């Protein structure tokens, strides 16, 4: 019973990685959904099996399955946020570049600054679709500031934990 959420998280991680490796150009959120569902199924199977064959009564068995499910949901939420942060980090960095350039930056200059044109192109397109960037006359302008608010929160957390506001401050 105790291992059910851990088994579920392991299945989530392995499934998500397998889907990503099978289709590297696919949406990362698709692989996260598939992994979540696989992990959730594993939790229900392990917890259900343990409660059935563990000789528990209906009330105790149901309580343990619910507890294991809630524990899995908490672990899955943590894993999702870990993966999502890595997905969003470059988008946040691009928005910060535009902010540091006074709120507007030529698209070509931004792409030139990073090694992989494709990575930047994909991120910029995603930011444009999400309204976080606006393109006018070949220049990218800051749109919605949601990611910048998140960036400021992480800057504050970085400062609170390691005493530095940004990686440029010398923190490793």
Residue 113 has pLDDT above 80, yes or no: no
- Going by pLDDT thresholds of 50, 70 and 90, the confidence category of residue 42 is very high
Half-sphere exposure of 91 (CA within 13 A, CB side): 25
d(CA 41, CA 98): 43
d(CA 3, CA 6): 5
Q: What pLDDT is stored for residue 72 in this prediction?
A: 96
Looking at 24-106, list the stretches that DSSP marks H as alpha helix, in order from N- to C-terminal side: 28-53, 58-100
d(CA 6, CA 9): 5
Integer CA distances (angstroms), 134 to 34, 60, 100, 119, 122, in order: 32, 55, 16, 18, 15
| Class of domain 88-169 (CATH, top level) | mainly alpha
Q: What is the mean pLDDT of the chain?
A: 83
Can you give the residue ranges of every domain in the chain?
A: 4-86, 88-169
Phi and psi torsions of 144, nearest 5°: -60, 145
Based on C-alpha coordinates, what's the Rg of the chain?
A: 21
Residue 164 has pLDDT above 80, yes or no: no
Q: What pLDDT is stored for residue 171 in this prediction?
A: 40
Residues 62-100 pLDDT 10s:
899 999 999 999 999 999 988 888 777 777 888 888 888
């Amino acid at each position: 019973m105790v291992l059910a959420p851990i088994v579920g998280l392991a299945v989530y991680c392995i499934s998500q990685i397998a889907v990503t490796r099978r289709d590297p150009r696919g949406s990362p959120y698709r692989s996260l959904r598939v992994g979540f569902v696989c992990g959730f199924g594993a939790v229900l199977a392990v917890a259900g099996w343990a409660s059935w064959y563990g000789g528990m009564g209906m009330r105790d068995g149901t309580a343990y399955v619910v507890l294991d499910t809630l524990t899995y949901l908490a672990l899955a939420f943590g894993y999702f946020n870990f993966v999502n942060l890595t997905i969003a980090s470059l988008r946040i960095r691009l928005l910060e570049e535009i902010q540091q350039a006074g709120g507007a930056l030529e698209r070509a200059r931004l792409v030139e600054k990073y090694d992989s044109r494709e990575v930047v192109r994909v991120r910029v397109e995603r930011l444009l679709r999400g309204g976080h960037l606006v393109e006018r006359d070949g220049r990218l302008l800051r749109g919605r500031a949601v990611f910048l608010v998140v960036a400021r929160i992480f800057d504050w957390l970085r400062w609170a934990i390691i005493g530095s506001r940004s990686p440029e401050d010398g923190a490793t």
